[in-house]
Amino acid sequence: MRYVVNPTMKGAYIHPEVYGNFSEHLGRCIYDGIYVGENSKIPNVNGMRTDIVEALRRMKLPVLRWPGGCFADEYHWRDGIGPKESRKKMINTHWGGVVEDNSFGTHEFFELCRQIGCQPYINGNVGSGTVQEMQEWIEYMNSPAISPMANLRRANGQDEPWGLKYFAVGNENWGCGGNMTAEHYADEFRRYATYVRNYTDQKVYKIACGPGQHPYYAWTRTLMEQAGHMMNGLSLHYYTVPGSDWRHKGSATDFTVDEYLLTLAKAHYMEKLVQDTGSVMDLYDPDANIGLIVDEWGTWFDVEPGTNPGFLYQQSTMRDALVAGISLNIFNKAARRVHMANIAQLINVLQAVILTDGDRMLLTPTYHVFEMFKEHQGAHLVESAISAPYYERTDVAPAAASRGRRAPLAPYRTPYITESASVADDGSITVTICNLSPDTAAPIEMRLDAVSARLKEARILTGDMHDKNEFDTPDTVRPVTFDGVRVEAAVNGTEVTYTLPACSVAVLRFEA
Ligand code: AHR
């Protein structure tokens, strides 16, 4: 297959935040997964698991969203500050009906982000909160002045404001965040956002709730028309669900070739969503100043047998690695409009990058894809194209239909090879490429046009589509050196040839 990359044709900046993650008070994501408390036998710093923090630093996690999700629209931030013994205990009604003791709150979240070295992204409560509550949370986090909330923060041990940048005004307000119409939410967004004040030069980047079920484009249009002037970003949620409806989503580990390919084709539907949503946004914001923030995406399967259905714990295989590779390549290519994305979720929930079991942890195939793609962060997209055959299905509807309004049958069409390429400020070139085929290797003839390049790194993640990491065998799926990449100087360019094995994700890096 012929593949052309043109590193001299520089496109949009790839915001590092596109490689973000999402963490919710859901199942074992926060408690157990991240936060074990200072007195735990599991090695920790201020209650945060050391093994997890180190892994996330290696992955170069740029931004983390918290505290939800649906949980965010029932979260009252004052429950999670002050002495831990007097924090309110409550039932997590959305997720598993377990006791939430609020021992992980605002201070702990900022401490986690400090340890990881990532940007915090906080989701505010519109569904069951008040304007005053949201205004005071922002004041608590960002005000350097003498003021009631800043004084309360100081009394709780944090003198300096944290200077939060990313803040979402509600979550899924068409659903669990209040079941609002687009018109009603647009009014609410403007009212709440008015009081999300800037206390310092660090302006708050305000994210409005965008679409997450059909009809995607009507919601987007209303929000852009009626509230576009007050937002910096608009969210979009899309989950890859191979099953026919939300009660039969399909197993995470036991699937047929047909289900494998359908899952990847459904993941690839993201391309259409971001392009079409972007086109609607272009009508109101032609220079793409407002970011499309894909702050929930990833696979959603049936929970692992024997686990709490409300905890959304699922295993992760090479199929998930392909979903991650497909999606991240799509986001790179849509860099002009997609300014942040957050996979759901960080640990032990949905398409997690890490799973834990007591003091043990493992990196999922999805983790490795994020780590392999990390050099795209902060680089510029470059022109690239490959001619590859397509896999197509026109007989299935998005599973989201059964949660919301009726959806039309979706045409799921995905090339067997997906790719993207970028150039960093120091001139180094990163190419990431996936072969979706379950059984056929792809011979690639790649041309790096108009540059003379030297191979710096070639790594590959590959295996059977069912391969996964388990606690006793945590390294079954891991990136290895990609042997057999041949690089030859050519007239006005560099020719690179290699054979991409079936079911694989590869990264190639060059010095120009
Ligand atoms: O990620 C799980 C849930 O999916 C989130 O809480 C919600 O926003 C979405 O419906």
Tell me, rounded to whole angstroms, the distance of Cα 222 from its chain centroid: 25
Q: pLDDT tens across 412-451, in order?
A: 889 999 999 999 999 999 999 999 999 999 999 999 999 9
Ligand 1 atom 7, closest CA: 69
- Å from CA of 345 to ligand 1 middle: 9
Ligand 1 pocket by C-beta < 6 Å: which residues? 24, 68-70, 171-172, 296, 344-345, 350
| 131-142 and 148-155 helices, crossing angle to 10° | 60
Strands 454-462 and 504-511 come out as antiparallel
Ligand 1 atom 4, closest CA: 69
Atom of ligand 1 nearest to the CA of 177: 8
Q: pLDDT tens across 269-280, in order?
A: 999 999 999 999
- Structure-block tokens of residue 336: 């002009």
Atom of ligand 1 nearest to the CA of 344: 1
Q: 64, 174, 176: which to mutate for ligand 1, most atoms within 8 A of CB? A: 176
pTM of the model: 0.97
Atom of ligand 1 nearest to the CA of 71: 6
Closest CA to 364 of 117, 52, 144: 52
- At 474 the three-state DSSP class reads coil
How would DSSP label each residue in 97-154? T-EE---S-HHHHHHHHHHHT-EEEEEE--SS--HHHHHHHHHHHH--SS-HHHHHHH
- Å from CA of 393 to ligand 1 middle: 27
Q: Determine the pLDDT at residue 396.
A: 78
> Identity (one letter) of the amino acid at 48?
M
Q: Determine the pLDDT at residue 377.
A: 98
Query: How many angstroms separate the CA atoms of 62 and 137, rounded?
Result: 23
What residues of the chain score a pLDDT lower than 50?
Answer: 401-402, 404-406
Query: How many angstroms separate the CA atoms of 364 and 441, rounded?
Result: 23
CB 222 within 8 A of CB 183: yes
- At 230 the three-state DSSP class reads helix
Q: Determine the pLDDT at residue 40.
A: 97
Within 10 angstroms of residue 226's Cβ, the number of other Cβ atoms is 16
Asked about 383 being catalytic, the answer comes back as no
- Å from CA of 179 to ligand 1 middle: 14
Query: How many angstroms separate the CA atoms of 268 and 275, rounded?
Result: 12
- The per-type count for the chain, helices as H runs and strands as E runs, is 9, 26
- Å from CA of 236 to ligand 1 middle: 12
Q: Determine the pLDDT at residue 214.
A: 65
Q: 385-511 belongs to which CATH class?
A: mainly beta
Query: How many angstroms separate the CA atoms of 257 and 242, rounded?
Result: 12
Strands 390-396 and 354-357 come out as unpaired
- Structure-block tokens of residue 207: 């994210």
Tell me, rounded to whole angstroms, the distance of Cα 1 from its chain centroid: 30
- Structure-block tokens of residue 489: 């100087």
Q: Where are the domains of the chain?
A: 14-378, 385-511
CB 371 within 8 A of CB 57: no
Any idea what the Cα angle at residue 504 is, between residues 498 and 508, rounded to 5°?
A: 50
Asked about 172 being catalytic, the answer comes back as yes
- Å from CA of 406 to ligand 1 middle: 20
Q: 71, 296, 312, 351: which to mutate for ligand 1, most atoms within 8 A of CB? A: 296
The answer to whether the 14-378 and 385-511 domains have the same CATH topology is: no
- Å from CA of 69 to ligand 1 middle: 5
Q: 70, 295, 300, 312: which to mutate for ligand 1, most atoms within 8 A of CB? A: 70
- Structure-block tokens of residue 129: 């909160």
What residues have CB less than 8 Å from 250, skipping those under 6 apart? 241, 242, 243, 259, 263, 301, 302
Q: Name the burial class of residue 229, with classes exposed (0-12), middle (13-18) and buried (19+) by CB atoms within 10 angstroms of its CB.
A: exposed
- Å from CA of 136 to ligand 1 middle: 25
**Which residue in the list 108, 271, 296, 371 is annotated as catalytic?**
296
> Identity (one letter) of the amino acid at 280?
V
Q: Determine the pLDDT at residue 408.
A: 55
Three-state SS letters, 21-44:
EECCCCCCCCECCCECCCCCCCCE
> Identity (one letter) of the amino acid at 173?
N
Closest CA to 368 of 511, 238, 476: 476
Q: Determine the pLDDT at residue 246.
A: 79
- Å from CA of 283 to ligand 1 middle: 29
Ligand 1 atom 2, closest CA: 69
Atom of ligand 1 nearest to the CA of 70: 6
Any idea what the Cα angle at residue 108 is, between residues 107 and 112, rounded to 5°?
A: 120
Q: 172, 249, 313, 350: which to mutate for ligand 1, most atoms within 8 A of CB? A: 172
DSSP code of residue 317: B
Closest CA to 52 of 146, 106, 118, 130: 118
CB 239 within 8 A of CB 229: no
Closest CA to 22 of 122, 170, 146: 122
- At 368 the three-state DSSP class reads helix
Query: How many angstroms separate the CA atoms of 469 and 472, rounded?
Result: 8
What residues have CB less than 8 Å from 37, skipping those under 6 apart? 44, 47, 103
> Identity (one letter) of the amino acid at 24?
E
- Å from CA of 328 to ligand 1 middle: 20
Atom of ligand 1 nearest to the CA of 212: 10
CB 239 within 8 A of CB 297: yes
Atom of ligand 1 nearest to the CA of 172: 8
Closest CA to 304 of 352, 369, 365: 352
**Which residue in the list 24, 111, 172, 375 is annotated as catalytic?**
172
- Å from CA of 261 to ligand 1 middle: 24
Query: How many angstroms separate the CA atoms of 50 and 478, rounded?
Result: 21
DSSP code of residue 437: -
* CATH number of the structural domain 14-378: 3.20.20.80
